Structure 1
Amino acid sequence: MKNNYLFFLLLFSSALFAQEDAWVYFNAKPNAQFYLDNPLQMLSQRALDRRTNQNIALSSTDVPVETTFVTQVKQSTGITVMAQSKWLNALHIRGSQADINALKNFTFVDKVVFANKILNTTSKKDRQNKIAKTKDKFKATVNYAYGASANQIQMLNGQVLHQQNYTGSGKIIAVLDAGFPGVDVAQPFQRLINNNQILGGYDFTTRNANFYAGDEHGTMVLSTMGGYKENSLVGTAPDASYYLFITEIDATENPVEESLWVEAAEKADEFGVDIITTSLGYFGFDNANYSHTYSDMNGTTNFISRGAEMAFSKGIVVLASAGNEGNTTERHIGGPADAVSVIAVGSVTASKVKSSFSSIGPSFDSRIKPEVMAQGSSAVVSSPAGTITTIDGTSFSCPIMAGMVACLWQAFSSKTNQEIRQMILKSSDRYTVPNNDYGYGIPNFGSTLGVDDFQISSFSVYPNPTQTTVTFALSDQNTASITIYSVLGQKVLEKQITNENSTLSLQTLKSGLYFYTFDAEGLHKTGKIIKQ
C-alpha cells in the first residue's frame, strides 16, 4: 500500500511540474501614447504610408509589448519566454503548470491560456476529432520563356499581367516558412540576388540572422514566385522583393510555432510589406493535448489565425495554404487558413481538377474555405541545388497565387487590400456557385480584371538602374509627388515634381535598392530604383 501511495505521489508531482506551453496576456500598454505620438519609433515610414493609403488608423495594437512586463515574467521562477506578440499583447511561455499559474498574481496580467485546453478551467472545448501530427508541406508586351512553369501561370491568366510589365515590381512579399537553403547560391535565384530583391530575413526558431538555412521547403516555395531560369521556371512575381522568415521548427510540431509566426508577421508589418504568404498550417501537435479540433477552425480561436487577421487589418494581403489533409479522416483546413480575411488557397491539377490531397471547407462557422485554387499537383519548383523539378502540395499553389496578387496590386496600386481580395474572388470561375472543395474557384488575373485599364502605362522611370539622377515621365499629369524609401521602409527622399522639372537627384543616397511611390491626380504608381 505504501508503494502504491508513493507511485501516485510521484505521478501527481510529475504532472504538476511537467513543462507546459501557454500564453500570458497583458491588460495594458502603459507607454502607448508615447509610441502613438512618435510612430516611427515602432513602424517604418513605408508601414505608416500603407496605413495612410488605406485609411487605417494607428492603435494600441501597433505599440510594442511593455518591456517591464516582459522582464518580470522572464524573472519569474521556472518561466521561459518563447515568443511575444504586440498585436495580441501576449507572451508565449513555457514552464510548469504551477509556475505558469503563479503569473496570474501580477496585476498587469489579464489571463493565462494553456495550450493544453484541459488545463484551462473555463474551457468547454470538445476534444473529439483530434488528429496526430500534421504539417502542411510535402518533402518530396513582354513574353517570358516560362518553360515547364507555363501552365501554373497561364491557368490563372497571369501572362496577361506579365505581358503588360506587371511582374510585382515595387511590391514586397514576406514568406513565412521552414527554411531557405540554397537561395543565396542556386542559379534560379541569382536574378533575385543580383537585383537586391532579397531584402532580408530572420530565423525566429533559433534567433539567428542566417535565414539561408533550415528545411528546403521554403526554398521551393520562394521559387514559384521569384525563381527565374529561362525555358524552365519563371515565378509568378519575378520582380517583387522578398523578406524570408523562418518560423517552422521542422523536426517537431508545437504551438510555439504559431507564436513565432505571429511575431514574424509583426516584423513584416513593421518593415512595410504588402503581402504575407505562408505554406504552413496547424491542426495537430506532437503533444495530442495541444491539438486543435475542427471546432477551433472558426477564425477567432487559434493564436496564429488571430494574428493573421490582425495582419490583414494593417492593410496586408495574407495568403495561406489550405492544407494537404484531403485524404485523411479530418479533411478540413487548419490555421491560419481559417481566418476570415485570409485567402486560403487549395490545389488543382494541371487540368483544373481538385487535387485529392487538398483540404476542404467550410470553416467551422460555415464560411467558404478555401477561397481560391491554383495548381499544386506537379507544381514546378527549384530545389536548393537549382534543379528544376515538380512537387505536390497546397504549399505551392499558395505562393503561385501570392505572386500573382503582387502583380495585380502593382497594376492597381491605389486599391486597398480588401479591394484586391475582392477583385480576386470576383474573377474566379465559381464565384456565383462556390462550394467546399473549390471555394470560389480559379481566379482569372487577365480577362476579367479590366485589362484595358492597364494600357495607361505610358508612365516610365529612367534611367533605372541609375548613378546620379532619375526622371519620372508624367504623361498627362502636370504635377506629382514622389517618395523614395530604403529597403527597411524608411523615407529617404520626398519631392514634388512638374512636367518642366521631373528629374530627381539621387546624389545623397548610397548605392543600393530603393522603392518609390508616384502620386498624381488619377494615377498612383509604385516601383523600385537601383542606385549604382
Structure 2
Amino acid sequence: MNRLFIIYLILIIPAINVFGQKNRYFVQFKDKKHTSYSLNNPGQFLSDRAIERRNRFGIEYDSLDLPVSNAYIDSLHKENIHVFYTSKWLNGAIIQVEENVAEALSLKNYVDTVVFAAPGFRLTTSQNTYPFDENPVNVDNSNNLSQANQNNLINYNKESIEQRGNGILIAVFDGGFKNVNQITAFDHLYGSNKLIDQFDFIENEINPYHHNNDHGTKVLSLISAFSPGIYLGLAYDAEICLYVTEDYPFSNEYRIEEYYWVIAAERADSVGVDIINSSLGYNTFEDATMDYEITDIGQNISISSMGAKIAVEKGIFTVISAGNSGNSSSWPYTAFPADTDGALTVGAVNNTGNKSGFSSIGYPEQEYIKPDISTPGSQVVVINSSGNVITSNGTSFSAPIATGIAALTLETFPELTPSQLKTAFHESGSQAEIPNRLIGYGIPDLMVMLGEVLSIPEEKKSDIFKLYPNPANPGLLKLKVFNENIHPNVEIKVYNNVGGEIISSALILINGEGIIDLTGVSPGNYVVIVRTNQGDLTGKVILTD
C-alpha cells in the first residue's frame, strides 16, 4: 500500500483572546525561507502515489510543492494564533481571529498581506465534533427511473465495455455528502477500502456526512454508486476522496470557500489523485467587495482559478461544472474556476442532446472555448440522501458524468496527460468540427474516448472513422474517415436497434468526408456500417427529436 504522507497543518492550540468578533482571514507570507523541507526529498511532503504521477508525466518539483515556512507558523503560534490550515500553493495560512489581531499581524515583517475571507466563527478546534451515524439506508427506485437516456447520450453501454474506473483515484469537492456512509449503494467504498481520504474543511471536521445537504451525495452517485439492477455509477470501481469545501446554504458565499477549494486541491495532490471533480463555482459574494468582474474571466485572477490551474500543472485532470447562470441577464457566463484554460469545463444538455437553458455559456472575450464539452444535466437520474432514485437538474450533475468518462479512459490509457485527455474529449465531441460557446465541442462519445474512434492513440487512426454531430437531429449526418487507403466509393448501411436495415446507399467520399441523409428517420439508436475496400467500419448514432 502506498504510504500516505500529507503535509497538512491542522493544529489544536486553542485561541485565548475572547474579546470581539472573530473572523476568518488568509495570511499570505512573503516567502518560504527557513523551511525544513527539500525538493530533493519529495517524500517529505508527497505520497508515493503523488510522486508516481509526477514521474509518469515528467513533472518537475518546484517551490509550490514546498510546505509553508515552519518558522512563520511558529511565529503565529507565539502570537497565540490558531492555524487551521496552510496553503503551500498560495503560501499562507487560514486563521480565525479578531480584526485588531489581523491588523497587527499585517505589520509583521514575514507577512505579505492579511486578507479578510469570511465573517464569524465557523472553524472548530476539535475534529471530532460530529458522530458518525451507521444506520443503513437502502436504495429505492419505486418510480422505476432509468439511466438509459443519459447513458445513451454519451454512448455508454455497461455490457460492451470492461472499464469500471479501476486504479483511478478521484477527489470530489462539494458542499456535503449526507448519508453517503449509510446508503447501501456506497457500501463497496468502505468494504473494499476504496474511500482513501475524507475531510470537511468548512468546520475542520473529519466527518463529511453531517451537513444537512446532499448535493455531493447526488454528484457522487453518478460516479460511484453500485446497486446492481437499480443504479450504477459510471466509475464505481474507482477510489474516492471526499472533501467538503462549500458552505451551506450555497447562497451564503464568501471567498473563504475558494481558499478551501485550493487547500483541498493541495491535499488531493498530496494524496495522489488522478482526477478532481468540482461542481462548484464563484463570482459574486455576500460581501460585495469580494465580487469578481466579468472581465476577470480567463485572466487567472480568482483564487479558485489559480488553484485549478496549478492542479492541472501538477498532473491532475480537473473537471469543473460550467455553472447554472445561462438564463441570467447580468452574468450568463461560466464563473470561477470554470474559466480555467487547462481544466475541463462541462456544460449541460437535455435529454434530446440540446443545450439546457440554465447552462452557463462561454465568455466571448476568452481566447479559448468554454465550456469545453457538455453532458446530460437536465432530469439527470441520481441517488439522494434518503436512498431514493430521483431526477435533478444542473451542470453540477454534468461534471461527474464527464469525470466518469475520464476515469474509464484513464483506466484504458493511464499515460494520457491532462492536456491529452482534454484534447480527446474535444475530438470525441458531437461538435468537434464546429465548437461554440454554448455546448463547447459537444457531447463526448465514450466509445471514442476508449479508442474505438478518432485520436487515442495516434497510431490507431488508420482504420477509424467519425460520425457527427452525434447525437443528431434527423437530417444530414456527416462522415469522416482517416484511412487514406480507403477508396472514395463506399456503401452505407443503417440498421435500427432490432437489426432492421433502413438505409442502403452508395456514397462518394471527398477528401475522406461525406454526407449520410437521414431525413425522415425516427428518433432512436442506430448502427451505421460503412463498407469500404479496406473492410467494414461500424459506428453508432443517436437521433433525437
TM-score by length of 2: 0.70
**2:418 & 2:428 partners in 1: Cα distance?**
16
Question: Higher relative contact order by CA 8 Å / sep ≥ 6: 1 or 2?
Answer: 1
* Structure 1 pair 190–34 and aligned structure 2 pair: CA distance change class (3 A): closer
Q: Which moved more, 1:356-365 or 1:306-315?
A: 356-365
- 1:231-284 per-residue CA deviation (whole Å, 9 max, x = no partner) reads 432111111110111111103311111111111111111111100001111112
SS in 1 for 2:318: strand
Given candidates 182, 185, 188, the residue that maps to 1:185 is 182
Asked if structure 2 preserves the Cα contact closer than 8 Å seen for 1:172 and 1:243, the reply is yes
**1:435 & 1:96 partners in 2: Cα distance?**
48
SS in 2 for 1:34: coil
SS in 2 for 1:202: strand
Q: Which moved more, 1:440-449 or 1:274-283?
A: 440-449
Shift of 1:334: 1.1
Asked if structure 2 preserves the Cα contact closer than 8 Å seen for 1:281 and 1:335, the reply is yes
- 1:99-157 per-residue CA deviation (whole Å, 9 max, x = no partner) reads 545434323223455569xxxxxxxxxxxxxxxxxxxxxxxxxxxxx971122222112
Given candidates 98, 109, 117, the residue that maps to 2:111 is 109
Partner of 2:161: 164
Partner of 1:44: 47
SS in 2 for 1:394: coil
SS in 2 for 1:28: coil
Shift of 1:228: 2.0
**2:449 & 2:256 partners in 1: Cα distance?**
42
**2:308 & 2:192 partners in 1: Cα distance?**
30
Matched, 1:194 2:191: yes
Partner of 1:436: 437
Partner of 1:207: 204
Matched, 1:241 2:242: no
Shift of 1:84: 2.8
SS in 2 for 1:158: coil
**2:299 & 2:160 partners in 1: Cα distance?**
37
Shift of 1:389: 0.6
Counterpart mapping for 1:215-364 below 5 A: 215-251=213-249, 252-329=252-329, 330-362=331-363
**1:364 & 1:104 partners in 2: Cα distance?**
37
**1:34 & 1:178 partners in 2: Cα distance?**
33
Aligned residue type for 2:426? L
Shift of 1:291: 1.9
Given candidates 83, 87, 90, the residue that maps to 1:88 is 90
Partner of 1:26: 29
**2:224 & 2:417 partners in 1: Cα distance?**
23
Aligned residue type for 2:319? L
Aligned residue type for 1:351? T
SS in 2 for 1:438: coil
Shift of 1:402: 0.4
Size of the alignment, in residue pairs? 407
- 1:274-306 per-residue CA deviation (whole Å, 9 max, x = no partner) reads 000011111121222222221222241111110
- 1:49-93 per-residue CA deviation (whole Å, 9 max, x = no partner) reads 10000000111111111132134345558x775643101212345
**1:33 & 1:83 partners in 2: Cα distance?**
18
Asked if structure 2 preserves the Cα contact closer than 8 Å seen for 1:83 and 1:256, the reply is no
Asked if structure 2 preserves the Cα contact closer than 8 Å seen for 1:275 and 1:316, the reply is yes
Shift of 1:363: 6.8
Asked if structure 2 preserves the Cα contact closer than 8 Å seen for 1:296 and 1:364, the reply is no
* Structure 1 pair 20–400 and aligned structure 2 pair: CA distance change class (3 A): same
Counterpart mapping for 1:62-73 below 5 A: 62-73=65-76
**1:53 & 1:448 partners in 2: Cα distance?**
21
**1:365 & 1:92 partners in 2: Cα distance?**
32
**2:77 & 2:368 partners in 1: Cα distance?**
40
**2:390 & 2:194 partners in 1: Cα distance?**
23
SS in 1 for 2:38: helix
SS in 1 for 2:320: strand
Counterpart mapping for 1:351-390 below 5 A: 351-362=352-363, 365-390=366-391
Runs of 5+ unmatched residues, structure 2: 1-19, 119-143, 458-545
Runs of 5+ unmatched residues, structure 1: 1-16, 117-145, 455-532
Asked if structure 1 preserves the Cα contact closer than 8 Å seen for 2:324 and 2:358, the reply is yes
Q: Which moved more, 1:25-34 or 1:384-393?
A: 25-34
Q: Percent identity among equivalent residues?
A: 36
**1:431 & 1:33 partners in 2: Cα distance?**
49
**2:445 & 2:194 partners in 1: Cα distance?**
27
Structure that is richer in helix per residue = 1
Asked if structure 1 preserves the Cα contact closer than 8 Å seen for 2:34 and 2:71, the reply is no
- 1:133-182 per-residue CA deviation (whole Å, 9 max, x = no partner) reads xxxxxxxxxxxxx971122222112337x733111000010001111121
